[in-house]
Structure 1
Amino acid sequence: MSLHRAAASVWRVQGSSNITQQILKCTRWQLEETTDFITCPYRYYCDSAYHGDYAPAVGALVAAFAAYCLLSAAAFTVLEIRRDGAAAASRRRKYLVPSGPFLLPLVLLALAKGHRIDAVFPLAQLGPALLLTLQASALAFRNEADGDLRYAVLEASTVSGILHASLYLDAVVLPYYTGTDALRWSRFSGECATCLCRMEPLIVGGTTVLYRGLSKTALAIIFALCSRMVCRIYGEERLSAWTRSALEAASWVFVAGDAVYLAVLATAEGAAANVAVYALVAGLVFLCIFAKVYKFLGWMETKQLHWKPSVSCHNVV
């Protein structure tokens, strides 16, 4: 049973799906004083207004956009593995991948308005998939630019975009996770529509789901992109190159960990659509990792071929 259905089933006993939505979308909980320290030591009520969701057509557009982001990232990853038209693809892909200067603002717009997108592609449940796609795209595809200044602007905009996307996602999912915990582990006091009695304090983000948008994954990616920018502007010195490679490798480990965690969580919840989405995103992440490993092995093979003749010539001399 998914978190949303579990929360809804709890409130159906109480009476109204509108109140369920208000609790799941609540962004500000107030703690009231209580005199019943035995059965209601913590009393909360929602102190924020819920303005309703956008039309299902908006959710359908977001779903189509998310599908395009996933497919474009996968397609360019396959092109990099095959190395067909790599030069032309590298010039075009910045306009077509999620982390590019054209699509990144659309990702930010979707996440910024995600609090009211609950039909077809509910971002409270599927928003992490969109952020993971953006993160994988930023790591897999480097920004291409002629001059250092233009490159620095593009890379800085990508870093800023990932930071803002992480914050926007947290603004969507944290109220949802908090509301889910509130519905699961509380009872309604009856004093108001959202008045709850709890035996334990209500924690922001809840305790059921550990995923966060602004986490070590986002910070590692930001540091990795900044190291790319430093290496591009100041040169690929040995220390800076190894630092960049280590940061990128750590970022891929964190992204893969998040993808696996969310896929397992979706499987445990049992919602088929969520399972499919997170399985596809996890597949994209591991496809990108495979492409990086494949290119690294090819680079090692090329370097070894160039190194062997020099050794043999040295031995002859």
Structure 2
Amino acid sequence: MSYDQMLSPLFGAGRSAWRAAGDGDAVTRQILKCTRWQLEETTDFVTCPYHYYCDSSYPGDYSAAVGFLVAAFAAYCFLSTLAFTVLDLVRGSGSAPASGVRGIKRKYLLPSGPFLLPLVLLALAKGQRINAVFPLAQLGPALLLLLQASALAFRNEADGDVRYAVLEASTVSGVLHASLYLDAVVLPYYTGLEALRWSRFSGECASCLCRMEPLVVGGTAVQYRGLSKTALAIIFALCSRMVCRIYGEERLSAWTRSALEAVGWVFVAADAVYLVGWVAAEGGVFGVAAYSLVAGLVFLSVFGKVYRFLAWVETRQSQWKSSLCHSVV
């Protein structure tokens, strides 16, 4: 799929303003993949107060086979997270927390586990050149949401405190690096979209653009970022789990840990809703379907957490009433 076809839902009738300015797909790719924009001095302060050109090169896209592998991997991450979310909801809190499939522990089958997390990081680190089948510039946030939901929903399990600390620290590091890698992919893309939409070609070079306003890194149309309050909230929640496990509940109460996890879920759900709304407004059936599935998974996890919390409250109320009756008797 060419860049001209991939971006056709995003620009509509306004595409002719930039499409005719150069070699079409090649110019579009250069702008969307540009990582360094240079501002030149201009004497035309009326029609071209800001003149930019791309000062970086792009080595080219990976083959469609790589995109297919990433798409298959993302589909597996979604299905595995969905399966364990449903199992966790059906079995309830009484089941073994680290149960897996056919003797394989759950942590080895989840995207936030020690086996699949490096693959997620590898895909995001190389995401700028993955644009066929599963373009990470457009669908990378969905993969990060899967990782964040998996890290929040399923705790790492280990026999000793040292092993647990290593696993939890690796998950924290993985979430942080995944957020940074995703920003390295989507920020040039969002900046390029801003440049293509609200600029005109000056004709001095293939990527030379005239703008009436300064070009902002990441653009102004899309507010989503990988390294954001959502990533920080998840990191704080994972660190609180580590403190409670190693030092005990007296150092950090279970209520504080649960509150941090709840804040993380609120931010993840808000990001999921925002991305679904943004993709739906821009157009593109595949993107809407992908983000809708991830949003559904997030809300299913939230529903499971709320359901177990209400069940716990009901149990505590029953115990309190029973103890009160015994004390009266």
TM-score by length of 2: 0.92
Tell me what 1:295 maps to.
308
Which residue of 127, 144, 148 maps to 1:114?
A: 127
Q: For the residues of structure 2 that align with 1:10 and 1:289, how far apart are their CA atoms?
A: 45
Q: For the residues of structure 1 that align with 2:314 and 2:28, how far apart are their CA atoms?
A: 59
Higher mean C-alpha deviation, range 245-254 or range 75-84: 75-84
Displacement of 1:14 in angstroms is 2.0
Q: Do residues 4 (structure 1) and 7 (structure 2) align?
A: yes
Displacement of 1:37 in angstroms is 1.1
Amino acid at match of 2:146: T
Q: Do residues 43 (structure 1) and 26 (structure 2) align?
A: no
Tell me what 2:140 maps to.
127
Displacement of 1:310 in angstroms is 2.0
Structure 1 gap ranges (5+): none
Change in Cα spacing, 1:148 to 1:19, as seen in structure 2 (3 Å) is: same
Amino acid at match of 2:96: A
Q: For the residues of structure 2 that align with 1:301 and 1:51, how far apart are their CA atoms?
A: 59
Change in Cα spacing, 1:243 to 1:88, as seen in structure 2 (3 Å) is: closer
**Corresponding pairs, count:** 316
CA deviations on 1:3-35 (whole Å, 9 max, x unpaired) are: 932356543222421110010000000111111
Higher mean C-alpha deviation, range 289-298 or range 272-281: 289-298
CA contact (8 A) 1:143 1:155 kept: yes
Q: For the residues of structure 2 that align with 1:119 and 1:46, how far apart are their CA atoms?
A: 23
Question: Which fold has the larger relative contact order, with Cα–Cα distance below 8 Å and residues 6 or more apart in sequence?
Answer: 1
Change in Cα spacing, 1:10 to 1:158, as seen in structure 2 (3 Å) is: farther
TM-score by length of 1: 0.95
Displacement of 1:251 in angstroms is 0.7
CA deviations on 1:150-207 (whole Å, 9 max, x unpaired) are: 1111000000000000000000000000001101111111111111111110000001
RMSD: 1.8
Q: For the residues of structure 1 that align with 2:160 and 2:98, how far apart are their CA atoms?
A: 19
Which residue of 133, 139, 149 maps to 2:162?
A: 149
Q: Give 3-state SS (helix, strand or coil) of 2:7's partner.
A: helix
Which residue of 260, 266, 274 maps to 2:279?
A: 266
Instruction: Give identity over the alignment, percent.
Output: 77
Q: Do residues 218 (structure 1) and 225 (structure 2) align?
A: no
CA contact (8 A) 2:244 2:252 kept: no
Displacement of 1:88 in angstroms is 7.1
Tell me what 2:68 maps to.
60
Q: For the residues of structure 2 that align with 1:23 and 1:238, how far apart are their CA atoms?
A: 51
Q: Do residues 33 (structure 1) and 41 (structure 2) align?
A: yes
Higher mean C-alpha deviation, range 239-248 or range 265-274: 239-248
Amino acid at match of 1:32: E
Kindly report which structure 2 residues correspond to 1:155-304, keeping only aligned pairs within 5 A, or say none.
Answer: 155-237=168-250, 240-304=253-317
